[in-house]
Amino acid sequence: MLIISHRGNLNGPHSSEENAPDVVDEVLDKGFSCEVDVWVTPQRELKLGHDKGEYLVDAGWFSARASKLWIHCKNMAALEYFCNSHPNFNFFWHQEDDHVLTSHGVIWSYPGQPVSSKGIVVLPELNMKSLDLDLTKALGICTDFPLKFDQELNGSSLRP
């Protein structure tokens, strides 16, 4: 099962470190994929960050990691940038939609929504007790606890 780190978290949310390029690289080095939040500024700068762009990166940063990134476009400028400049990257836009399709045709499901064999369950840890979630039926999950879920779902003790 595909395990995606939510904003670079490994063992729970750490808002002060989320989306930081070095933290994302640590997650990728452990063998996980990573969902990152991306903004494009009026000056056409690419910035990582959840509520606003905080970490300046360039197109080369994305290119070097493209196969492992799930790019959450946080503003229309970011969505247009990836549509126009990098349509082969895996990106998407959503706010509180139940489900959206990524540019690679994968269903990205908002927390608490039904599981799909063609989709990613986002933050299953928020709804494990209140919903009857069979995560084994999903293509993958995006979580703040990838190490824990990797052990539970894939039987890994620690990634390399």
Tokens at residue 128, please?
Answer: 């494990």
At residue 112, the pLDDT reads 87
At residue 23, the pLDDT reads 98
Strand partners, 109: 99, 121
In a domain? residue 24: yes
Which CATH number goes with the domain that contains 77? 3.20.20.190
Separation in Å, CA 113 to CA 38, 119, 155, 159:
24, 11, 25, 28
Domains: count for the chain: 1
What single DSSP character describes residue 12? S
In a domain? residue 159: no
Q: Which residue has the tokens 């390399």?
A: 160
In a domain? residue 113: yes
d(CA 69, CA 62): 8
From the number of C-beta atoms within 10 Å of its C-beta (0-12, 13-18, 19+), residue 40 rates as buried
User: Please, where are the H alpha helices in 30-141?
Assistant: 59-65, 76-85
In a domain? residue 91: yes
In a domain? residue 160: no
Backbone angle region of 159, left / alpha / beta, with phi > 0 → left and psi within -120 to 50 → alpha: beta
Residue 13 belongs to domain spanning: 2-154
What pTM, to 2 d.p., does this model score? 0.93
At residue 159, the pLDDT reads 45
d(CA 3, CA 13): 16
In a domain? residue 127: yes
d(CA 113, CA 131): 9
Which parts of the chain sit beneath pLDDT 70?
Answer: 129-132, 156-160
